[in-house]
Structure 1
Amino acid sequence: MVKKTSMKDIAQDVGVSIALVSYVLNNKKENRIGKEIARKIRESARRLNYQTNQIAKSLKTNKSFTLGLIVADISNPFSSSLARIIEDEADKHNYTVLFGSSDENPQRLQKQIDTLLNRQVDGLIIAAPEGSEAQLITLQQRIPFVLIDRYFPELKTNYVALDNYKSIYTGVQHLLDSGYRRIGLISFDTDLFHINERVKGYRAALTENQIPFANTWLKTLGQVTYKAEMAQAIQELRAGKQPVDAILFASNALALHGLKQLNALSVRVPDDVAVLSFDEAEAYDLFYTPISCIRQPLLDMGQMATKLLIEIIQKNNRITQVNLEAELLIRPSTRPIP
């Protein structure tokens, strides 16, 4: 059996004390250690294939240096991109991230929470599903956590999210400024605060621009059944003597399936209808007409949530709540009407 490299081996190889090796490899007292000797210690550790004894470290510090992340659906481009950002940021602080999906289901959320707690994670980042308020209240007594993307205004919790009202208001204003007057919105049928803020922002932008809102312009689809319901929603928006001249999708999942249905119905974008999506997706660039979107600041959101959680783990008990601003990316799918 190959002998596992220890700090003592590195100390002997470089000719320094074991304590100095420990300081360097654990990123302690960096301002008091010469850069050249620190470089030699790290180079020796790489050459000798040194690996941290995480179990011993956990016993000593009473921490696992592991974070748990629960998103709605890790296969969704929004969730997977956010997960990678969180993973990279956690790595900068010597933390590992374990992932799970709630599938927008409180029971599955609880299963993921229990699994991660059994893995002894130090804290959680959660994109909480509808109806999970009671679980979060209970969780506050058990482990530090930060909500990301979604939050519940009535709960005093740490969160990093988006100003959804302002973001979608800006998107609707862009469509109006481009000459569109019959703007439909396809959203989810849910009580989630961030989704309802998007609906409120959409309606407020129409009202404040003196555009009478028609109930037929708003389609709310089931979070589980939206794929099957999409075709009918688009057909209804495009029906009648005055069909909508623009469609705003309240998420990238809705937009991706909406674009498929527009293709299937031979509806041309933007000749027949303009399209604007909340959230970005790489697939938009592969569509025959690049799709305008409301881009969420995923990098800032993921990094801030990770840093905030680590601060809380280190006994920062201050409640922090952040609402970031989105960026409107204008592409040919919302070109101005001549």
Structure 2
Amino acid sequence: MARKATAQDVADLAGVSRSSVSLVLNGRGAGNLSPEKQRAVRAAAQQLDYTPNAVALSLRSRRTRTLGVLTWPGAVGFSQTMLHRALRKAGEHSYLLLVMDTDGDADVERRQLDTLRDRQVDGFLVVSPAMAHYRPAEVLTSTPTVLLNCLDPDRRVSGVSPDEVQAGRRAAEVLLRQGHRRIGLLVGDPDALQTQLRVSGVQQAVTAAGGVPPQPCVAGRNIDEGARGARAMLSGPDRPTAVVCTHERLAVGAALVAAELGLGVPAELSLVSLEDGERLTSRLDPPMTTVHRPDGAMAEQAVSLLLEQLGTGTEEVRQLLFGCPVRERGSVAAPGQRRGPAGRPR
């Protein structure tokens, strides 16, 4: 039977000391080793199929090497991408995740926090399915904790989130560069923080370009609601030449109504979605231009930030914002000839 690889084997292959291997695989490489050496250690460990002995690590560090995760389902379920990437990142450092579904209920959350504390987790990760405000319980403010895709209004704990205002601006700017000035805005829950931030970004961009900021057309979150909202918006006498949809399913509904009304995309109507997490809009014909939310990268950064807190003992509260790049596809063009609801030129 082949000999099991040791930390020294990893060190020899990566060209570093054994203590350096320990630092990297225990999540304490940042600030102690260069990024290149950290990558070399992880690559060597993967090549040799090396995993540290969890029991020995726990005895030495007096930690359980487990992280408690609090999450809940949103309008389209759990954030599978964020949970998957957090799980993978934690596993790279020999940490386990204990994932608890709070169902968005404060009483359930309190009971689950008690359970996780009984399990002696080393820290907590709170994962919101949609950008929202989150007020952490007292235990989370006194234990290493990182919020993912949500913000503590009082800034008592660290967080990692997307720049939703920037996302809205970029969606509008794609259309403004093509010459659109009558831009419609199809939104979900107007009271949701995510919607408010995205709407603010769109309106800021249109105002900066000298236009009149579009007023949101509230349409819910599913495809049928998006279709109803888009139909009302596009059937009027002064319809927009382009529409920004704050949610992916609304964008699908808008595309269906455009086809129903005989409006060609993008020749007669340009469409931009601020989401494509379910890979719906990118599969349309033509594929829709979207603003990408870097959920996977955010999740990995959140875990790294939490492990950094555990490794250094720092209590510094940090708020990290991730940019949202545009993925231009085939649904945006310069304004074309206006047509009536039946497809006849006006």
TM-score by length of 1: 0.73
Preserved contact between residue 144 and residue 309 of structure 2 (Cα < 8 Å): yes
Higher mean C-alpha displacement, 197-206 vs 79-88: 79-88
Higher mean C-alpha displacement, 104-113 vs 175-184: 104-113
Identity of aligned residues (%): 22
CA change 1:324–1:101 in 2 (3 A) is: same
- The total of aligned residue pairs comes to 307
Equivalent residue number for residue 31 of structure 1: 17
Q: 1:275 Cα shift?
A: 1.3
Q: 1:268-290 CA distances to partner (integer Å, 9 max, x unpaired)? A: 43244221111334333321111
Q: 1:276-319 CA distances to partner (integer Å, 9 max, x unpaired)? A: 11133433332111110111233431221110011122322111
**Which consecutive residues of structure 1, in runs of 5 or more, have no partner in the other structure?**
1-8, 15-19
Preserved contact between residue 185 and residue 245 of structure 2 (Cα < 8 Å): yes
CA change 1:258–1:142 in 2 (3 A) is: farther
Q: 1: distance between equivalents of 2:246 and 2:143?
A: 32
Equivalent residue number for residue 241 of structure 2: 245
Higher mean C-alpha displacement, 56-65 vs 301-310: 56-65
Which of 272, 280, 300 aligns to 1:276? It is 272
Say whether 1:320 aligns with 2:310: no
Q: 1: distance between equivalents of 2:257 and 2:299?
A: 32
Provide the aligned C-alpha RMSD in A.
4.1
Q: 1: distance between equivalents of 2:297 and 2:92?
A: 15
TM-score by length of 2: 0.71
Which of 288, 303, 307 aligns to 1:306? It is 303
Q: 1:159 Cα shift?
A: 0.9
Equivalent residue number for residue 296 of structure 1: 293
**Which consecutive residues of structure 2, in runs of 5 or more, have no partner in the other structure?**
22-40, 337-346
Q: 1:65-117 CA distances to partner (integer Å, 9 max, x unpaired)? A: 22233445489599222222222211111112244555666566556555544
Higher mean C-alpha displacement, 181-190 vs 264-273: 264-273
CA change 1:92–1:243 in 2 (3 A) is: same
What pairs up with 1:86-235 in 2 under 5 angstroms?
A: 86-101=86-101, 113=113, 116-128=116-128, 133-134=134-135, 136-141=136-141, 143-215=143-215, 218-222=216-220, 226=222, 229-235=225-231
| Larger helix proportion of the pair | 1
Preserved contact between residue 146 and residue 160 of structure 1 (Cα < 8 Å): yes
CA change 1:154–1:239 in 2 (3 A) is: farther
Q: 2: distance between equivalents of 1:221 and 1:299?
A: 28
Could you say what secondary structure the match of 2:266 adopts? coil
CA change 1:70–1:237 in 2 (3 A) is: farther
Q: 2: distance between equivalents of 1:75 and 1:256?
A: 16
Read off the aligned partner of 1:195 and give its amino acid letter. Answer: T
CA change 1:70–1:161 in 2 (3 A) is: same
Preserved contact between residue 267 and residue 333 of structure 2 (Cα < 8 Å): no
Q: 1:179-215 CA distances to partner (integer Å, 9 max, x unpaired)? A: 2222122223254444322111111112122222353
Q: 1:191-247 CA distances to partner (integer Å, 9 max, x unpaired)? A: 4444322111111112122222353xx12345xx65563332122211310112222
Preserved contact between residue 288 and residue 330 of structure 2 (Cα < 8 Å): yes
Q: 1: distance between equivalents of 2:98 and 2:198?
A: 30
Q: 2: distance between equivalents of 1:213 and 1:247?
A: 13
Q: 2: distance between equivalents of 1:26 and 1:319?
A: 33
Q: 1:106-157 CA distances to partner (integer Å, 9 max, x unpaired)? A: 56655655554454432222234788644x0424345321112221443332
Preserved contact between residue 74 and residue 80 of structure 1 (Cα < 8 Å): no
Could you say what secondary structure the match of 2:232 adopts? helix
Q: 2: distance between equivalents of 1:250 and 1:262?
A: 17
Preserved contact between residue 74 and residue 100 of structure 1 (Cα < 8 Å): no
Could you say what secondary structure the match of 2:17 adopts? helix
